[in-house]
Chain A
Amino acid sequence: MEQQELIPHLFRTEYRKITAVLCKLFGISHIEIAEDIASDTFLLASETWGHKGLPENPVAWLYKVASNKAKDYFKRDALFHQKIVAQISNSFATSTGEIEIDLSEKNIVDSQLQMMFAICHPAIPVNAQIGLSLRILCGFGIEEIADAFLTNKETINKRLFRAKETLRTEKVKIEFPNKQEINKRLEIVLITLYLLFNEGYYSSSQNITLRQDLCLEAMRLTHLLIENPSTDEPSVNALMSLMCFHASRFEARTDKNGDTVLYQDQNTDLWNKELINKGMDYLSQASRGDEISKYHLEANIAYWHTIKEDTGQKWESILQLYNQLLQIEYSPMAALNRTYALSKANGKPEAIIAAEKLKLVDNHLFHSLLGELYTNIDNVKALMHFKDALKLAKSAADKTIISNKIGELSVQSN
C-alpha cells in the first residue's frame, strides 16, 4: 500500500483502537484527551513518514508514539496536580509513577467492547449514540458523520459535545455491565448497531462508499460482540445474520450511475453468496435457546429474500413473520411490507382492504404500495396514488422510481 493510502487506512483501523484503550485508561470524563492524543499521533505520523519514509512496522510505531504521548500527558498532568493540588490533598499526587499503556490485542478488543457499552448508555439519545459510535468506535470524521446524517458539521459537533457532557455528568464507567445487567444493556447496544446499519443501508446520502462503510462498521462491531463469550447471545447472532443477508445485495442494489435498482430488478449473480452463507450460519447460531427477538424475525424475512423465486411458501412465510414482528413492535415500514406480503400470499383484493386501513397518508411508500396494488385492478386509482407518492417522496432515487411507474401506467392506459 502506498503511503498516501496507508495513513487514511491506518486512521480508520487504528485511531479507534488507540482512542478506546486510552479512554479506558483515563476514564470517560477525559474522552477528549484520548481523542486528542490519537489525533496528534496521526498528525506526527503524516509529518514524520512524509520526509523520513515509512517505519518498518507502522502500527507498532503508532502505538509507541501514542503510548509516549499518553505518558507525557500523565507527567504534565501529575506536575499540574503536584503544584496546585498536592498542598490541599495528597491523594491527587499518586499518578507520578511510570504508567503502562496496554495496547495488546486483548486489551484493545476489551476496551472497544466496554466503550460500546459506555456509549450506548440509556441517558444518551439514540441519535447521539450512533454519532458517538461512529466517531469513537469507528474513527469516522465529523464531516463523514454529518454527511451520513444529511446534516452539517456544526450539528454533529453539538450533538457529540452534549453526549460527552452526559457521559461525564452520569459518571459512566468504561466497564462490562454485570451479569444481571448485561442483557438489558445489550439490548440498547443492539438497537444502536441496528440503526447504524440502517443509516448506511437506507440513507439517502449520495455517497455510496460511505454508506457501505457504515454498514460494514456496524457488522464489525456486532462481530466483536459475537466473539466475546459473555455477549455472544442468540439475538446478537440474529442481528448479524440480518446484516449479512442485507449486505449480500450491496453490489446489486445500485447501478453504474449510482441509481437504485429495485429488488425485483436485481441481477442475482451480483448477490454475494459468501455473505448469504454467513448469514445462514449466524441464523442457525441464533436458534440456540427459545428466544425470538425482532432480529430473529427480521433475519428470517431477509433470509427468504435471498431466494429470488416467487413461491407460495416464500410469501406465506414472509407474511407470518411480519404478522409476528408487528406484534412485537409496530413500525410503518413493517406494516407496509406486511401488506405487500399479504397481496402476494392472499391476493390483491384482500391486501387493498388491509392497505386502506393503514392510513399512513403522509408516507410516500403508503401511496406507492396502493399504486402497486391497484395496478391492473383500478388503474385510475393506481395513477392517483403514484402521483401522491411522487409529491411526498424526498430523495431523487425515490422520485425516479415513482416517475417510472407513472410512465408505465400512462403507456398502458393509452
Chain B
Amino acid sequence: MKDFLFVFRNDFENIPKGSPEELQALTKKWMDWVGGIAAQNKLSDRGSSLASGGKVVRPNNVVTDGPYTEIKELIGGYTIVKADSIDEAVELASGCPVFNYGGNVEVREINVM
C-alpha cells in the first residue's frame, strides 16, 4: 500500500452559501464520503480543510495577500488515502462531494523519503 494525497480544489463562488440545513447536508456528504473510505481501511490521514485567504511568501521577503477566493481552483483541503495503485486511489476519489459544486480532486502519490 502506498499513500496518495487528495487535493481538493474548488471554485469558491460555487460553494453553496445557503441555510444552516444546506450546510449541514454538505457536511454530512463529506462525513459519509470520508467514512466510506475509512470503512474500506483505506484512510491514512483524514487531513483538514483550509481557511480561505492567506499569504504568499516569495523570495526577498516579498509577501502578498492571497490566494484570493476569486481563483477558480482554490485549494480547499486535503486528505491522505492508502491504495495499491494510482488507479485504485482514483477510484476512491469517486463520489467526492467537491464534484457537487464544480470542484475537482488532484490525486498524487506520496514519495517515501
Shortest beta-carbon distance from B28 to chain A in Å: 8
Nearest 4 CB-CB pairings of A with B: A323-B35, A326-B38, A335-B39, A330-B41
A346 touches B35 (CB 8 A): no
Binding site for B on A (CB under 8 A): 316, 319-320, 322-324, 326-327, 330, 334-335, 338-339, 342, 346, 354, 357-359
Chain A residues with CB below 8 A from B34, complex form: 323, 327
Chain A residues with CB below 8 A from B89, complex form: none
A357 touches B35 (CB 8 A): no
Chain B, 2-42, CB within 8 A of any chain A CB = 28, 31-32, 34-36, 38-41
List, sorted by A's number, 26 A–B pairs whose CB atoms are closer than 8 Å. Answer: A316-B28, A319-B32, A320-B31, A322-B35, A323-B31, A323-B32, A323-B34, A323-B35, A323-B38, A326-B35, A326-B38, A327-B43, A327-B46, A330-B39, A330-B43, A335-B39, A335-B40, A335-B41, A339-B39, A342-B32, A346-B32, A354-B36, A354-B39, A357-B36, A357-B40, A359-B40
Shortest beta-carbon distance from B90 to chain A in Å: 14
A326 touches B31 (CB 8 A): no
Name B35's contact: one of A316, A327, A358, A359 (CB within 8 Å).
A327
Q: Which residue of B lies closest to A339 (CB)?
A: B39
Name B39's contact: one of A316, A320, A346, A358 (CB within 8 Å).
A358
CA of A213 to CA of B31, assembled, Å? 38
Chain A residues with CB below 8 A from B39, complex form: 322, 326, 330, 334-335, 338-339, 354, 357-358
Chain A residues with CB below 8 A from B46, complex form: 327
Shortest beta-carbon distance from A342 to chain B in Å: 7
Q: Which residue of A lies closest to B31 (CB)?
A: A323
List the count of A-B residue pairs having beta carbons below 8 Å apart. Answer: 45
Binding site for A on B (CB under 8 A): 28, 31-32, 34-36, 38-41, 43, 46
CA of A320 to CA of B36, assembled, Å? 11
CA of A22 to CA of B40, assembled, Å? 49
Shortest beta-carbon distance from A337 to chain B in Å: 10
Chain B residues with CB below 8 A from A357, complex form: 36, 39-40
CA of A207 to CA of B46, assembled, Å? 42
Chain B residues with CB below 8 A from A338, complex form: 35, 39
Shortest beta-carbon distance from B19 to chain A in Å: 18
CA of A342 to CA of B41, assembled, Å? 17
Chain A residues with CB below 8 A from B28, complex form: 316, 320
CA of A342 to CA of B46, assembled, Å? 20
A319 touches B35 (CB 8 A): yes
CA of A118 to CA of B32, assembled, Å? 41
Q: Which residue of B lies closest to A345 (CB)?
A: B32
Chain B residues with CB below 8 A from A323, complex form: 31-32, 34-35, 38
CA of A338 to CA of B36, assembled, Å? 9
Chain B residues with CB below 8 A from A358, complex form: 39-40
Q: A326-B43, A342-B32 are in contact. List 18 more A-B contacts (CB 8 A).
A: A320-B28, A322-B35, A322-B39, A324-B35, A326-B35, A326-B39, A327-B38, A327-B43, A327-B46, A330-B38, A330-B41, A330-B43, A335-B40, A335-B41, A338-B35, A354-B39, A357-B39, A358-B39
CA of A256 to CA of B111, assembled, Å? 59
CA of A338 to CA of B35, assembled, Å? 8
Shortest beta-carbon distance from A363 to chain B in Å: 13
